[in-house]
Amino acid sequence: MAASRILIRIALFFWLIAKVISYKVWLTARIFPVVPVFDFLAGTPAYVHVFLYSFSLFCLLVLTIKPDFRIVGTALLVSEILSASLDYMRWQPWEYEYLFILLIYILNKKNEKFISVIAFMLIALYAYSGIHKLNHGFLVQIWDNMMLRSLGHFHISHQGSKLFYLGYLLGITELIAAIGLIFKNTRIYAAIVLIIMHLFNLYWLGPLGMNYNVVVWPWNIAMICFLYLVFIAQKEILLTDAFKGLNILVPFFWGLMPAFNFVNCWDHYLSGSLYSGKLTLMGICVDTRAAPELAQFVSPNDVYHMCEGKSLVKLQSWSLKELNVPPYPEYRVYQKINKTLKTKYAAINCFTYHFGSNKNIHDLN
């Protein structure tokens, strides 16, 4: 039980840090549109967002000190789901994971199944994350652009370059490590490999590297702690515990449903598609004279030649700069953002695209 309490306190502590870093995404006092999951929630008063955010912070503080307050844990769970329903931008991968960790703890705090169910969830997350990286978009956007060029200052030709195709090893290694976590004889070694991966992420995305996506820095630290507590410090793990009682929610939402992402029937952020290079992006063509508040988010150049003299705002850059989180990368969400922006700004055009490619560009208007 000691390991369970340590793990849940770590999760709650880093969850609190993430919510503080990304405070603007939980409020409405911002330029970036609020995009509710359900249309009838549009226009929810600002004070409701403020209350839910403040209440969640209070619950996180209380539970970090005293995690066994079940009523407070349940209240936090309800508050977070209500708050996240008010804006798609709040459904970040770390938010989704922390929600499930809290739910699993509430369901299992009086027994020893908690650690084993967390183990199942982590194995599924790493397995899907590795599989999602096995695509050409990962090589172009993440491996070549964000690692080799931005971090390592390597400039290579994509065609026939062995270094370029070596990027596939990252996804393969993560997948093999996930499989290694299943078996007792390989579990510790697999966990060490994944811990090294997270340490690299902290260097790559942190202030010594790209200084990018600050909100995932504490998440990577939390994941290192989880790997140590669950797969190194723990002597016995029974993955079958995840299939007992209400714990079956974890195999369903982390084992089964992410598979539907490969046929476009389940969202990327709920499927372990993390830095996969597969995500659809959104661009906004705007005349900043009519929308001066967007000038601070304008991209230096229109590399996709879509804006015909207008300025280009990349939604990813706008969201990261203002909200400290990336946008929720689903086409239906982009359509809602487009509708909101068109209502506010008349002279605006939106389109979706994939990084580094003039193909698959779709006008949202």
**Residue 351 three-state SS:** strand
DSSP3 helix / strand / coil % (the chain, rounded to 5): 60, 5, 30
* Residue among 78, 68, 81, 96 at smallest CA distance from 8: 68
Per-residue pLDDT of the chain (365 residues; tens, 9 = 90+): 688 999 999 999 999 999 999 999 999 999 999 999 999 999 999 999 999 999 999 999 999 999 989 999 999 999 999 999 999 999 999 999 999 999 999 999 777 899 999 999 999 999 999 999 999 999 999 999 899 887 877 776 665 688 889 999 999 999 999 999 999 999 999 999 999 999 999 999 999 999 999 999 999 999 999 999 999 999 889 999 999 999 999 999 999 999 999 999 999 999 999 999 999 999 999 998 889 999 999 998 877 788 888 999 999 999 999 999 999 999 999 999 999 999 998 788 999 988 866 567 888 87
Q: What confidence tens digit (pLDDT) does each residue in 258-298 have?
A: 999 999 999 999 999 999 999 999 999 999 888 999 999 99
For residue 245, what are its two tokens?
């009682």
Q: What confidence tens digit (pLDDT) does each residue in 143-179 have?
A: 998 998 878 777 766 656 888 899 999 999 999 999 9
The number of beta carbons lying within 10 Å of the beta carbon of residue 266 is 17
Cβ–Cβ under 8 Å, residues 194 and 151: no
363 beta partners = 351
| pTM beyond 0.85 | yes
Round to whole Å and give the CA distance between 90 and 25: 6
For residue 215, what are its two tokens?
């909100």
- Structure-token match 């359900």, residue found: 38
Round to whole Å and give the CA distance between 10 and 324: 21
Cβ–Cβ under 8 Å, residues 242 and 117: yes
Round to whole Å and give the CA distance between 100 and 105: 8
What are the φ and ψ backbone dihedral angles of 79, each rounded to 5 degrees?
-60, -45
What's the Cα-to-Cα distance from 161 to each of 151, 252, 278, rounded to whole Å? Answer: 18, 40, 21
* Residue among 225, 236, 224 at smallest CA distance from 194: 224
- With 0-12 / 13-18 / 19 or more C-beta atoms within 10 angstroms meaning exposed / middle / buried, residue 276 is buried
For residue 330, what are its two tokens?
């689903």
Round to whole Å and give the CA distance between 241 and 284: 47
